[in-house]
């Protein structure tokens, strides 16, 4: 990550208010493995977070009734956004990237928080974009990614950056830690059903638990890592050729590996089984696991409705989303010839 540019920005150089949005995400394949250098495939969701910021002057930031620390003030339009002190720390880290003083931040979230759908990166990305606007930068300025990473660092410690890439991107992408995300070619649209299969789990805790597995048996861990990497390689071909049945099988195989890493729960297993029995081509946990959401790949829009209704009967909250086809997107340079 590059150092913040040496600039002295005061809010008066930009607008008096900034706003921004960023997306939630679903990881199709490669969560956790991506922390350890493997590729992951993620899609940006059509829902996420919104942020509005305005500069606070010293007098404004005293005696406020909302959370105040470091002179900032955060208003949450929705109780699902939580984080307390950490949220204030994350804001301070993000605004430091723009060399900005205290701000008032208003946040809203259109995703279940802590459920593997990238709520934290969406909030961070929206905030970073709002801060960028405040200082006259575009939503795609490199400092936006840097500020989102700074925000994520507060919540996740060892975030790979995949959530940030999807929060600030669109469509399907291939992500490798430390590299720019690559847009993925999709020959046909992806119909995804998402179900909340358990209470929120801490990404930080789950990432640490996988790290402990790595430390306790490196050889076994590396074999699983290689298996997940191979699933991603094959999935890229499935996406490019529109072979959704095979993609579904790869998704089911990934669930087995992730369950072997103790990331699944009874509720996640039930949701995956329910989705598959109702017609899903594959289903797996998505994100950090330990709770949170599953993603099921549906063969069609009509089937998505059936899968959703089967999951609802089991008491799971669900929603469906479509990722549009993008056959023109290129995967990697050698893919041009295939």
Verify binding: residue 288, ligand MEV, rule CB under 6 A: yes
| 34 lines the binding site for ligand MEV (CB under 6 A) | yes
Please, what is the minimum distance in Å from the beta carbon of residue 224 to ligand MEV? 14
Tokens of 246: 């095979």
Contact 176, 303 (CB under 8 A): no
- CA pair distance 42, 27, nearest whole angstrom: 4
Cβ distance to ligand MEV smaller for residue 118 or 291: 118
| Structural contact between residues 326 and 185, judged by C-beta atoms closer than 8 angstroms | yes
User: The tokens 């909340």 sit on which residue?
Assistant: 196
Half-sphere exposure of 231 (CA within 13 A, CB side): 27
151-170 positions binding ligand MEV, by CB under 6 A: 156, 159-160, 162-163
Size (the chain), residues: 338
Span near ligand MEV by CB under 6 A; candidates 32-40, 242-250, 252-260, 330-338: 32-40
Q: Smallest Cα–Cα separation from 303: which of 282, 324, 287?
A: 282
Structure tokens at 209: 């638990």
The single residue among 32, 36, 50, 52 that binds ligand MEV, judged by CB under 6 A, is: 32
The answer to whether 293 and 117 are in contact (CB under 8 A) is yes
- Least Cβ distance, residue 30 to ligand MEV (angstroms): 7
Q: Which of residues 195-214 bind ligand MEV (CB under 6 A)?
A: 203, 207
Is there binding between residue 35 and ligand MEV (CB under 6 A)? yes
- Residue listed under structure tokens 């960023």: 22
Residues 47, 16: Cα–Cα separation, whole Å:
26
CB of 329 to ligand MEV, least distance (A): 22
User: Between 207 and 272, whose beta carbon lies closer to ligand MEV?
Assistant: 207
String of contacts with ligand MEV for each residue 85-124, x by CB under 6 A? -------------------------------x-x------
Compare residues 102 and 198 and give the one whose CB is closer to ligand MEV.
198
**Closest residue to ligand MEV, based on beta-carbon distance:** 160
Total residues contacting ligand MEV by CB under 6 A comes to 16
Q: Whole-angstrom Cα distance, residue 155 to residue 87?
A: 8
CB 302 within 8 A of CB 286: no
Q: Binding residues for ligand MEV, per CB under 6 A?
A: 27, 31-32, 34-35, 116, 118, 156, 159-160, 162-163, 203, 207, 287-288
């Amino acid at each position: 990550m590059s150092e913040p540019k040496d600039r002295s920005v005061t809010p008066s150089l930009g607008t008096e208010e900034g706003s921004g949005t960023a997306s939630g995400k679903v990881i199709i394949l490669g969560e956790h493995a991506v922390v350890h250098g493997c590729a992951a495939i993620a899609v940006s969701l059509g829902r996420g977070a919104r942020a509005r910021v305005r500069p606070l002057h010293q007098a404004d930031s005293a005696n406020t009734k909302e959370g105040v620390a470091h002179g900032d003030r955060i208003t949450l339009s929705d109780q699902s956004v939580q984080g307390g002190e950490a949220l204030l720390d994350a804001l301070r880290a993000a605004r430091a990237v723009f060399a900005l003083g205290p701000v008032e931040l208003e946040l809203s979230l259109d995703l279940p928080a802590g459920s593997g759908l990238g709520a934290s990166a969406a909030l961070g990305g929206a905030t970073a974009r709002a801060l960028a606007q405040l200082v006259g930068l575009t939503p795609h300025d490199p400092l936006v990614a840097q500020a989102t990473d700074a925000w994520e660092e507060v919540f996740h410690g060892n975030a790979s950056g995949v959530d940030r890439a999807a929060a600030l991107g669109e469509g399907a992408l291939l992500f490798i830690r430390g590299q720019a995300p690559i847009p993925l070619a999709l020959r046909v649209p992806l119909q995804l059903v998402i179900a909340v299969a358990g209470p929120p789990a801490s990404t930080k805790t789950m990432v640490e638990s996988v790290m402990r597995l790595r430390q306790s048996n490196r050889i076994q861990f590396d074999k699983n890592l290689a298996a997940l990497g191979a699933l991603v390689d094959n999935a890229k071909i499935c996406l490019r050729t529109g072979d959704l049945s095979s993609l579904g099988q790869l998704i089911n195989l990934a669930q087995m590996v992730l369950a072997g890493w103790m990331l699944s729960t009874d509720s996640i297993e039930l949701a995956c089984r329910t989705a598959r029995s109702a017609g899903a081509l594959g289903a797996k946990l998505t994100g950090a696991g330990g709770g949170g959401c599953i993603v099921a790949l549906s063969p069609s829009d009509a089937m998505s409705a059936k899968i959703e209704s089967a999951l609802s009967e089991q008491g799971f909250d669900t929603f469906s989303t479509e990722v549009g086809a993008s056959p023109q997107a290129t995967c990697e340079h050698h893919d041009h010839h295939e």
